[in-house]
Structures are given as C-alpha cells and as structure tokens.
Amino acid sequence: MPARRHLWIFIVAGAGVLVLALLVFLALRPLAAGPGAEDALPQPTWASPAAAPVSAAAPTAPGVAGLVDADWLAQTASSTGIPARALAAYAGVALSKAVEMPACGLAWNTLAAIGFAESRHGTHGGSEIGPDGTATPGIYGIALDGSSTDHIPDSDAGAVDGDAEYDRAVGPMQLIPQTWRNWHVDANADGAEDPQNIDDATLASANYLCRASGDMAAESGWHSGIAAYNSDPAYAVTIAEAGSRYRSQAQ
C-alpha cells in the first residue's frame, strides 16, 4: 500500500506540473509573438506615389476627367474598388498637375485616399457622384462649433455650406468655405465652380496641397501637405494606409 500510494502521488504531481507548464506557455505566447506576428507587415508611414495614370490619346470628356485613358480607368477602378467617376477625377487632376506643376509630385493615390477618408468617394450619407461629377444630395459636414472640432464661426453667410452660424466642410473632399474661397476652380469645364463637384473639389484640394507641401512625392513634403489638410496625426495614418493600399492594388 505505501508503494502504491507513493506512485499515485507521483503521477498526480507530475500531471500537475505538465498542466502548469502548458498554462504558462499559453499565457506567455501572445506576449512573445502575438497572433499572426510572423505574418505582420510594417504599417506605411506615408503614401508614396503610385505609377502615373495613362493619359487618353484624345480627351474623352470635358475637363480633367476626360484626360484619363478609358482602359486604365476601368482596370484600376476594378482592382481598387474606387468608383470609376471618382477615380477619373483623382487621376485627371494628377495628370493635370503633372503638367501645370510637375515639382509638386502629387499622385492620384493620395487624392483617392483623401476622397476615401472624407466622403467614401462621394457616397457618404447616401450621396452619389453623377456623370458630371456632382454629388447628389450635397455632402455637408458637422458644424465646426468647437464642441468636438475646431471652432470656426461662419465665414460665408451660409452661401457655401448652408450654415450662417458656423462653417461646415462641404462636398466629396470636405473643403471648408474659407479653403474653397481661396482655391475655387472649374475643373469639369461646365462654367460653374462647385465644391460638391468632385472634379472641382479635387483640383481645388490639389492646388491647396501643392501650395502647402512643395513636394508631395517626398515623405516630408507629403506629411506637410496632409497636416495642412487635417492636422490630426490619426488622419495622416488613415491617408497613408489607404494611399498605400491603392498603389499596391493598382500594380
């Protein structure tokens, strides 16, 4: 009996040690590696330029959207998931700026990332981008009353944003009235300047970014431009991730 008792105690003790070792291993494994750590990729710190869009042999439509080759547009819209009409604005503006201001180096994938972050390419709140590039219904941000945003009192008597008390960001690229006043432009050649039009809004945004950055093709210049657009560090992370994803998907 004593021998059997000692054997039983030894077996129980040994099993306890194994269970304890297993628990320690499971507890320490996430600290050492983390789930899927071996497959983790470093997060992008900025959105380096994607390859330039292919220019149309002849304009396919008035304004910047007509500058883009139809086959490139269809293929890239399919591979990135960006709506073709929005992508035509981003790519057309990039082609336009490459001629007008080549030193800026602003790429379509950064413009697309901003359009994604600001309005999901003009689809926020059920809006749609029409064939002429205009968002319907119009897209309006929250009042910039200082409660959870910068405090920006009305600057346009509500003419652009419909709010005579506080400014609101408007359109697919979410430009505040002051920015639109400084950079307004007719990019779709319809004779009107409209921040709700994705061509007009994207070219206005590009003009602003190029002025703020100097060189959007360099990491430091890219960060200067994005910080001028929105100074929240989390915003730069969002743009870097989306812009890098679009560059990769378009390859």
Same domain, 142 and 237: yes
Same domain, 33 and 67: no
Same domain, 177 and 234: yes
Give the H or E element holding residue 72: helix 70-80
Same domain, 172 and 50: yes
pLDDT attached to residue 15: 44
pLDDT attached to residue 214: 87
pLDDT attached to residue 169: 97
Domain enclosing residue 13, as ranges: 2-38
Same domain, 8 and 97: no
Same domain, 208 and 93: yes
**Dihedral pair phi/psi, residue 73, rounded to 5°:** -60, -45
Number of domains in the chain: 2
CB count within 10 Å of CB 162 equals 11
CA gap 118, 234 in Å, rounded: 13
Same domain, 6 and 95: no
Same domain, 100 and 15: no
Same domain, 17 and 108: no
Helix, strand or coil for residue 26? helix
Which letter, b or e, does each residue of 40-73 get, where b requires 16 or more Cβ atoms within 10 Å of its Cβ?
A: eeeebebbbbbeebbbbeeeebebbbbbbbeebb
- The rounded Cα 64 to chain-centroid distance in angstroms is 20
- Cα distances (Å, whole numbers) of residue 1 to 4, 8, 13: 5, 10, 18
Same domain, 215 and 97: yes
Same domain, 176 and 242: yes
Same domain, 98 and 122: yes
The residue ranges of the chain whose pLDDT is under 50 are: 1-38
